[in-house]
Chains A and B, each alone.
Chain A
Amino acid sequence: MCPVLGHLDGRFESADAEAEHRITALYQEFGGPLLRHVRKSTGNDLQWAEDVVQETIVRAWRNSARLQWEPSLIWAWLLTVARRIVIDGRRRKSVRPHEVEPPEVDMLAVPDGSDRALSAMVVADALRNLSEEHREVIEQTYLRDRTISEAAEILGIPPGTVKSRLYYGIRALRVLLQDKGVAG
């Protein structure tokens, strides 16, 4: 065999092995924590959560340059990738014509006794402390699984305005949650 080709074959093989090794390493490092996080947003749907984690790991492997980032940034990126996959799934699953509107924040009742309910109350409280403009864009995008442009159409304001209000609203919300000593 031509020595040059032989050499190249060897390189391709080792590249494959490297890829496999990398994907296994990704699972080992992030698979468990990611699954725990994703399960919170898929309700009790473990199968769905596992699919989301798998898809997230594959995307991470395809974007290996990002895996050179520092670990806390990789983790933040993986969580964001996974969240996007969950939201896309939820949007596909929802049957638009029969969609039930989630309750407005002011209509949320908090059953006492559980940590989760208390924690939800803190979040609802923080949302209420935002300006109307900021609260509205958070409700009309994330809390209703709508994209920026869908929310812009409903609110009758430009998409750029939704995006900008969302930025300042989310930052303000984070500060409010931090003041209450519960934000990460």
Chain B
Amino acid sequence: MHEGVAAYVLGVLDEGEHEAFERHLDTCTSCQAELKELVDVPSRLDELRHIPSASEDDPPMSMSR
């Protein structure tokens, strides 16, 4: 059950599991601690969503010219 904390914090658990994990969270102090640790990771990942993709000619991630 504990490993579900990452999927929970990302919001990708399937419906039933999401609810089951929330109930687990009510009593599991180690998952509560991990929730606090991991909660900022999804918003960091969100930064990737707003970046326009490279044209196909560009080398990936080229910052230097």
Contact = CB atoms under 8 A, between A and B. Distances in A.
Majority secondary structure, A binding face: helix
Interface in A128-171: 138, 141-143, 146-149, 151, 159, 162-164, 166-167, 169-171
Interface residues of A, number: 62
Contacts of B7: 141, 148, 162-163, 166-167
Contacts of B6: 163, 166-167, 169-171
Given A73-B36, A79-B39, A109-B51, A66 B26 contact: yes
Contacts of B55: 109
A116 B12 contact: no
Contacts of B5: 167
Given A80-B35, A117-B51, A163-B4, A107 B44 contact: no
Interface of B: 2-14, 17-18, 25-26, 32, 35-55, 58, 60-63
Interface of A: 37, 40-41, 43, 65-66, 69, 72-73, 75-77, 79-80, 83-84, 86-88, 102-103, 105-112, 116-117, 119-121, 123-125, 127, 138, 141-143, 146-149, 151, 159, 162-164, 166-167, 169-171, 173-174, 177, 182-184
